[in-house]
Copies of this chain bind each other. A is one copy, B any other.
């Protein structure tokens, strides 16, 4: 299935049927988010995968009781770094140099300038910037899920502060940004699947400088 067909097929699934998504497909969706590009390659986010029913119940309670959280097969939580620190930035490039067989001296000036740039932001600016990178991975994961014919519900509607507390994300230097329940649509029970997909007219979406 092409991406265009997949994106036309997908919709923000409101009712899932509880069927399990094969681990292989979950892995592919996570791999897509993991391969997504991010600013200067920092990958300032993680994906938390919740398949445990008790944890799903706890999370549902702080996501306005939305049924997809418990009806889904796997719940993905995208959580971004709460701050850019010198240690984190240096850690990413040290790992890349090791993987590439390069000494850290090979790009020390570049790394120093990245440290200076990223640590000049306030924690709130840092988190906003990191969260945007998580949204790139979120978009890529949604696309991969659709291509694999796995339904998903992109969600911002939850109490992020409470979710961060529940999962003790602060101790990991993370803050939650979005949720993505993965599963399969319950066609009969879902009001949204029956409605035509609508987008802004392309003529309004696109501006051209030819």
Verify A43–B199 contact, CB threshold 8 A.
yes
The answer, yes or no, to whether A188 is at the interface (CB within 8 Å) is no
Q: Tell me the dominant secondary structure on chain A's binding face.
A: helix
Verify B138–A39 contact, CB threshold 8 A.
no
- Chain A contact-residue range equals 35 or more
Q: For residues 46 through 91 of chain A, which have their beta carbon under 8 Å from a beta carbon of chain B?
A: 46-52, 55
Q: Quick one: given A30-B206, A49-B207, are A99 and B196 in contact (CB under 8 Å)?
A: yes
Residues of B within 8 A of A132 (CB): 131-132, 135
Verify B35–A199 contact, CB threshold 8 A.
yes
13 more CB-based (< 8 A) A-B contacts, given A30-B205, A48-B206: A4-B28, A12-B37, A36-B139, A46-B205, A48-B208, A49-B208, A52-B210, A99-B196, A100-B196, A128-B128, A136-B139, A140-B143, A143-B143
